[in-house]
Structure 1
C-alpha cells in the first residue's frame, strides 16, 4: 500500500496485477488500483478533478485528466472517506503511476492533493541485478 497526505487529506493506493485480463503474448498488461481518500482535517472538501501520469517500462508517459473519479465528485466531511477502484492497461509488464486531485473547500478555495507514486509490477517483468 502506498500513502501520502496533503493538507490533512490522506490518499492511499493499492495496485493489483490482473493476470486473467492480461495477455503478455499480445503486449497487454492490466492492473486495477483501489484508492482510499480520507479527510483527516477539520474542513469539508469536494474532489473536483483528477490528473494522472502513467509511465510504462520504456519511459512512455500518458496523461489523463478529467472531472471527478469513477463518475463522482465526492464531498468529504471531516472524518469521512471515499474509496473506489479503477484500472489501467500498459503495453509493458511494469510501469508507474502518480497524480493529483483538485479539491475545493466549502469556502470555494481550490487546492491540489498529491496521489503517491505507485509501482505497477507483473510477474512478467525481467529483473536484472548487477
Structure 2
C-alpha cells in the first residue's frame, strides 16, 4: 500500500491485478485500485477534482482528469474518511500511477492540492 499526507489529508492506495478480467495474449491487463482519503484537519473539505498520470511500460504517459471520484465529490468532516474503488487497463502488464486531488476547505474556500502517492501496477500472471 502506498500512502502520502499533504495539507493534513492522508491518501492511501492499494492496487490489485484482476487476472480474471485480463487477457495477456491480447495485451489487456486490468487493475483495480482502492483509494482512501482521510481528513486529519480541524476543518471540513470537499474533493472537487482529480488528475491521474498512468504510466505503462508499453506506452507513453496517459493523463486522466475530471470532476470528483467515481461520480462523487465527497465532503469529509474532520476525522472522517472516504474510500472508493476504481480501475484501469494497461497493455504491458507493468506500469505505475500517481496523481493529485484538488480539494476545497469549506470554511474559507481555499483550494488545496493533495498528492496521490505513486503505486505500482504489476500483473502477477503466474500466481494471482
| TM-score, length-scaled by structure 1 | 0.93
Q: Which residue of 2 aligns with 1:128?
A: none
Q: Which consecutive unaligned segments of at least 5 residues does structure 2 have?
A: none
What SS does the aligned partner of 1:117 have? Answer: strand
Q: Which consecutive unaligned segments of at least 5 residues does structure 1 have?
A: 126-130
Number of residue pairs aligned between Structure 1 and Structure 2: 125
Matches within 5 A, 1:113-128: 113-124=114-125
Ranges of 4+ aligned residues in structure 1 off by more than 6 Å: none
1:27-85 per-residue CA deviation (whole Å, 9 max, x = no partner) reads 00000000000001111100000000000013511000000001000001100000000
Provide the alpha-carbon RMSD of the alignment.
1.2
Q: Which residue of 1 aligns with 2:46?
A: 46
What SS does the aligned partner of 1:20 have? Answer: helix
The range that moved more, 33-42 or 53-62, is: 53-62
| TM-score, length-scaled by structure 2 | 0.95
| Cα distance in 1 for residues equivalent to 2:40 and 2:124 | 36
Q: Which residue of 1 aligns with 2:96?
A: 96
Say yes or no: does 1:112 pair with 2:125.
no
